[in-house]
Amino acid sequence: MKIDAFSHILPPRYFEVMQGMVRDPRALKRWLTLPALYDVDARLAMMEEFGPDFSQILTLSSPPIELLAEPDSSGALARLANETLAELVTQHPRRFPAFVASLPLNNVAASLAEIEYAIDELGAVGVQMFTNVNGVPIDDPQFEPIYAAMARRDLPIWLHPTRSATTADYRTEETSQYEIWWALGWPYESSVAMSRLVFSGVLERYPDLAIITHHMGAMIPFLEGRIRLGWADQFGSRTHGEEARSALARLSREPIEYFRSFYADTSLSGSAIGTRCGLDFFGSEHVVFASDCPFDPEGGPMYIREMIRVIDSLEIDEGVRDQIYSGNVDRLTHGRLGLLLQDLGHGHPGEKADAGIGRAH
């Protein structure tokens, strides 16, 4: 059983509306070359390569809803996104056993209403947040009710990076060059957002909140030494003021432990090196299989194929491999995926794995 935990889609009805809201049509250039992103039949045909035991949890593709719609209309756009995602799950439960709800994050009240509707009524298994909300950091106090709502439901937040070419690489320039904004800027965005959630105390206040970080926790695993020793143990020595000291005082554990409490997906474009590094940092119980489908040179199957190759090549027990492929994400969603897929004739995710593996929050 392989459950792709972070794959992207634009349901056709939503995509039609979305296209009319994009301010710069050129921004859709890449999207329009990926039929598996918005054509459900193309997506299903592409998935056939990976056999009947392959399925995907659906997340809405960028751009973020709050980038498309103003606060007074973003709630309606999020509602359309979630209802059309839920329709796909209902229509194709074997391939799409679950979806992650989208939120109109420029309107917190509407986001809370959407959490209640999408999770409690439509059956979403979590919510997606982006690493900033039109430039506002996600540890801003206005978002606290969202973390509280997800902590009460004990369901994950899927964290996706966002940054555009308008974020220049240098102050003397107006735009980013060579797609650095994406290749390096997105991992930076994720790493910054994770750091803000740690040092602002969000994870201290909600210690059981599961956050699934895209692209294997971005830069964090590789920079373990800078975080554990160079950063935390000398925190504040490079800058003036009491901010660093007060931030550490809010935490009951070493900062590195909060970083390890994140979950990470395997969306690494087929990188074996990055996968091993992430596994070493987060531990296999905090890693979930994901592909970033369909954003690869083949329009969908390549990254799936490459990540399966990498995971199958890892020198780990088969039970641990099963946890990565399906058991961990099933556990995070309280067995809802496993029960659904079992009812459809599949085995239960991770059923061969060590029953002692649990959440490490």
Domain CATH for 77: 3.20.20.140
The structure tokens 């972070």 sit at 6
Domain that holds residue 103: 2-343
Buried b (16+ CB within 10 A) or exposed e, 53-90: ebbbbbbbbbbbbbbbbeeebbbebbbbbbebbbbbbe
CA dihedral 12, 15, 20, 23 (to 10 degrees): -170
Whether this prediction's pTM lies above 0.95 is answered by no
Domain assignment of residue 193, yes or no: yes
List alpha helices for 200-347, DSSP H: 202-205, 224-225, 243-249, 255-260, 272-282, 301-313, 318-322, 328-332, 336-343
Q: pLDDT digits over 293-323, tens only?
A: 999 999 999 999 999 999 999 999 999 999 9
**Assigned domain for 223 exists:** yes
Considering the domain boundaries, does residue 356 fall inside one? no
Residue 348 counted as domain residue: no
37 and 294 Cβ atoms separated by less than 8 Å:
yes
- Whether the per-residue pLDDT at 26 is higher than 70: the answer is no
For residue range 183-205, what is the model confidence (pLDDT) as tens digits?
999 999 999 999 999 999 999 99
Write the pLDDT tens digit of every residue in 251-279: 999 999 999 999 999 999 999 999 999 99
pLDDT bucket at 343, cuts 50 / 70 / 90: low
- Residues in the chain, how many? 361
Rounded to 5 degrees, φ, ψ at 276 are -65, -40
Q: Give the tens place of pLDDT for each residue, 144-161.
A: 999 999 999 999 999 999
Phi and psi torsions of 164, nearest 5°: -125, 175
CA-CA distance, 331 to 168, in Å (whole number)?
Answer: 40
- The token duo for 323 is 């946890």
Question: Can you give the pLDDT at residue 237?
Answer: 80
Is the residue at 255 inside a domain?
yes
Is 357 contained in some domain? no
The reply to whether 14 falls in a domain is yes
Residue 339 lies inside a defined structural domain of this protein: yes
Q: What is the mean pLDDT of residues 285-295?
A: 97
Number of domains composing the chain? 1
